[in-house]
Amino acid sequence: MTGSNRYYGASTKWDTNNPLLMLIIVQAMFFVGLNFIKSIYTFSRMDPESFYRNIYYWSILSADPEKFLTRPWTFITMQFSEVRLIMVISNLIWTWMFGFLIQDLVGGEKIFPVYVYSSFFAGFVFILSTNIFQRDVVGISYFNGIIPGILGMAAAATTIAPKYKIFPMIGGGIPLWIISVVYLFLNLGTSGGAISLIPQAVGIVTGFLYVRIMQSGVDPGAWMITLYNRVVHFLTPGKKKVRTTKQHSFYDQGNKKPFVKKPNLTQKRVDELLDKINQFGYDKLTEEEKDFLKQASKKDL
């Protein structure tokens, strides 16, 4: 890839300051967790459909308003829930590609807001459109927002720099907008019908509008970035500093300074400072000289 090669954030053990890596980790964790539970159902010789009925459909978004009201968390979990290996591998690759471009162009802190907003609005429109155009299948229609989230990231990156070149070794590079169009058509071929194209279109429009609003001087994801930083700080607190006996004995002295220079009180030094006051005035004394005179007055020198 061409362009600047910035790295966002300082590295930690889990790279919590790298939102792109955290997004990939969350997607992978949901896949592993759901498939672990699915394997329990399989080895227990339960009906495979019971896994979807009891677990999976409780992590993705239902078009039925009554079901959604009892599962409000699905607006968040549906953005990461996928159990098909080939889809997860594809999602992780495209998430990394478009997320890396956003990180490289405007900073990694914009990745989560673009992804979450695109998935959220796509899910909202999914519920609305299904209840308007396919009311007869509302009770059995479900949606996950991973692809609209990635499409939103693709649209955002393309809006920022449509001529950004990828794979420069191939004829000087492939423009970013072509890569985004290819990803869009790949998902059109796997869509579940015309109605499913509406949420995908919403994801694209959301990514585009996010960048346009940001370019106008307003960051619609500022609150999300602040929340993300607080969560990261809570989950990865700094190491508490343990004070040793030596530190406590020699340095922890309450409000006292660990070392205070005590002047050597002599009459000769007092006379010199008095002469200086007579010639230049008291204000010309240094703080150390003023302290010396105070100490001397206490000793009646």
pLDDT value, residue 154 = 95
Token pair in block for residue 148: 């609209």
pLDDT value, residue 34 = 95
Question: Measured between alpha carbons, how far is residue 253 from residues 43, 192, 233, 242 in Å?
Answer: 64, 71, 31, 16
φ/ψ (deg, to 5) at 61: -85, 130
pLDDT value, residue 7 = 35
Handedness of CA 113, 114, 115, 117 (dihedral sign): positive
Token pair in block for residue 199: 């949420």
Q: Which residue type sits at 272?
A: E
- Write out the chain's pLDDT in tens, 301 residues: 444 433 334 334 445 578 899 999 999 999 999 999 999 998 988 887 899 999 999 999 999 999 989 999 999 999 999 999 999 999 999 999 999 999 988 888 899 999 999 999 999 999 999 999 988 889 889 998 899 999 999 999 999 988 888 887 777 888 999 999 999 888 875 666 667 789 999 999 999 999 999 999 998 988 888 887 887 777 666 544 445 444 444 444 455 454 444 555 677 777 777 777 666 666 667 878 777 777 776 665 5
pLDDT value, residue 227 = 86
Q: Write the burial class of residue 130 (CB in 10 Å: 0-12 exposed, 13-18 middle, 19+ buried).
A: buried
pLDDT value, residue 49 = 87
pTM: 0.71
pLDDT value, residue 134 = 87
pLDDT value, residue 40 = 93
Residues in the chain: 301
Distance CA(93)–CA(154), nearest Å, equals 12
> Which residue blocks in the chain are alpha helix, DSSP H?
19-43, 48-54, 65-70, 74-77, 85-106, 111-133, 146-160, 176-188, 194-215, 222-235, 245-250, 267-280, 287-298
φ/ψ (deg, to 5) at 73: -65, -15
Structural domains present in the chain: 19-235 (1.20.1540.10), 259-298 (no CATH)
Q: Coil, strand or helix: which one is 284?
A: helix
